[in-house]
């Protein structure tokens, strides 16, 4: 299964080590807790989150006897840790186009993820379009336009350097006139200047809301999993700048740092919507906790 394959690297460094620990298990003591902590940290779970998981592992130790192995008990602890918030569904606009705005730093995978989402929603029978509103990165417009042509969906684009908001206005109008179900907005993410970034994001969401009531329904922050904990501090800038509703974690296939999902959940309090598991348009999977935890461990 692609989901599990995509997590191969993480599983090898995380799951295999937990299993080895479990095979030599002879009781919960300080050495074991320390070893667990190291495995979690090296999987990029982050110090605060790792500590919470280890504490919970220790606190619930009277339940250990109900499991076949320490490994299975640990997996149960991970589930418990993750499952404490109800799943939040994606908001789709019942009376017109749903706008999903993609935000994140350059290179995180926004354009690739936009292409993947176009392909996914089109395959689900939705009428989709994309706004090439990353007018700053050289080649971004051509990149998404090429994907759109290949997938066979309309791409609304401006000129390099054009105000991204004006591209989004054009795209919203196109979406309304052509009964588009889902409009994906691919934006630029220059972190160098936080004030400009905030202003630009604020303007983009404002003009979209003026064209389509309640839009953008979703603002997804694209994070590169290979950047691990650094990605989380980057994320904070975007959370301060705009109303982010979910996370897409890309390049999960290229990293052993898959544990970062656990700290995103714990630190950012935002649902992970999708995982990027490769460079091709089909390499995108809706996130679900069970597949994720299994992918990381078994």
Which stretches of the chain bind ligand GDP, using CB under 6 A? 104, 106-112, 137, 250-251, 253-254, 276-279, 283
Q: Torsion over CA of 169, 187, 102 and 266, rounded to 10 degrees?
A: -130
Which two three-digit tokens encode residue 14? 């995380």
Q: Is 105 annotated as a binding residue?
A: yes
Measured from the CB atom, is 71 or 186 closer to ligand GDP?
A: 186
Find the shortest distance in angstroms from Cβ 157 to ligand GDP.
Answer: 14
Measured from the CB atom, is 99 or 248 closer to ligand GDP?
A: 248
Q: Is 166 annotated as a binding residue?
A: no
Where does 106-244 show beta strands of DSSP type E?
A: 128-133, 155-157, 182-187, 218-224
Q: Is 111 annotated as a binding residue?
A: yes
Find the shortest distance in angstroms from Cβ 107 to ligand GDP.
Answer: 5
DSSP 74-123: HHHHHHHHHTTS--------TTS-EEEEEE--TTSSHHHHHHHHHHHHHH
Q: Is 109 annotated as a binding residue?
A: yes
Which two three-digit tokens encode residue 277? 């598991």
Q: Is 110 annotated as a binding residue?
A: yes
Estimate to the nearest angstrom the gap between the alpha carbon of 284 and the chain centroid. Answer: 10
Find the shortest distance in angstroms from Cβ 247 to ligand GDP.
Answer: 13
Measured from the CB atom, is 55 or 288 closer to ligand GDP?
A: 288
Whole-angstrom Cα distance, residue 152 to residue 150?
5
Torsional sign, CA 235, 238, 242, 247: negative
Whole-angstrom Cα distance, residue 230 to residue 224?
10
Find the shortest distance in angstroms from Cβ 83 to ligand GDP.
Answer: 25
Measured from the CB atom, is 43 or 276 closer to ligand GDP?
A: 276
Find the shortest distance in angstroms from Cβ 168 to ligand GDP.
Answer: 16
Is there a contact between 56 and 77 (Cβ–Cβ < 8 Å)? yes
- Of 159, 117, 83, the C-alpha closest to 273 is 117
Is there a contact between 3 and 285 (Cβ–Cβ < 8 Å)? yes
Whole-angstrom Cα distance, residue 228 to residue 44?
6
Q: Which residue is nearest to ligand GDP (CB)?
A: 276
Estimate to the nearest angstrom the gap between the alpha carbon of 57 and the chain centroid. Answer: 27
Q: Is 245 annotated as a binding residue?
A: no
Measured from the CB atom, is 13 or 187 closer to ligand GDP?
A: 187
Measured from the CB atom, is 45 or 277 closer to ligand GDP?
A: 277
Q: Is 251 annotated as a binding residue?
A: yes
Q: What is the DSSP letter of 247?
A: E
Q: Is 210 annotated as a binding residue?
A: no
Find the shortest distance in angstroms from Cβ 145 to ligand GDP.
Answer: 13
Measured from the CB atom, is 16 or 142 closer to ligand GDP?
A: 142
Q: Is 107 annotated as a binding residue?
A: yes
Find the shortest distance in angstroms from Cβ 104 to ligand GDP.
Answer: 6
Binding site residue list for GTP:
104-111, 186-190, 250-253
Binding site residue list:
104-111, 186-190, 250-253
């Amino acid at each position: 299964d692609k989901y599990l394959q995509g997590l191969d690297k993480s599983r090898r460094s995380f799951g295999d080590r937990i299993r080895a620990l479990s095979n030599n298990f002879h009781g919960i003591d300080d050495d074991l807790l320390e070893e667990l902590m190291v495995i979690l940290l090296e999987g990029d779970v982050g110090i605060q989150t790792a500590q919470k998981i280890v504490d919970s592992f220790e606190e619930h130790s009277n339940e250990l006897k109900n499991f076949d192995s320490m490994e299975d008990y640990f997996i149960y602890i991970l589930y418990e840790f993750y499952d404490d918030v109800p799943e939040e569904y994606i908001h789709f606009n019942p009376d017109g186009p749903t706008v999903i705005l993609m935000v994140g730093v350059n290179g995180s995978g926004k354009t690739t993820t936009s292409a993947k989402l176009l392909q996914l929603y089109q395959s689900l029978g939705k009428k989709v379009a994309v706004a090439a509103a990353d007018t700053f990165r050289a080649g971004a417009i051509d990149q998404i336009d090429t994907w759109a042509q290949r997938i066979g969906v309309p791409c609304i684009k401006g000129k390099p350097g054009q105000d991204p908001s004006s591209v989004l206005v054009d795209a919203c109008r196109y979406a309304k006139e052509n009964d588009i179900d889902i409009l994906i907005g691919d934006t630029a993410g220059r972190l160098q200047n936080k004030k400009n970034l905030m202003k630009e994001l604020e303007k983009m969401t404002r003009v979209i809301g003026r064209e389509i009531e309640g839009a953008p329904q979703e603002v997804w922050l694209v994070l590169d999993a290979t950047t691990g904990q650094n990605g989380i501090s980057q994320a904070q800038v975007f959370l301060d700048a705009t109303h982010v509703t979910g996370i897409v974690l890309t390049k999960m296939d290229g990293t052993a740092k898959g544990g970062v999902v656990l700290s995103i959940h714990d630190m950012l309090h935002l649902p992970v919507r999708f995982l990027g598991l490769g460079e091709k348009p089909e390499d995108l999977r809706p996130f679900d906790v069970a597949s994720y935890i299994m992918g990381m461990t078994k």
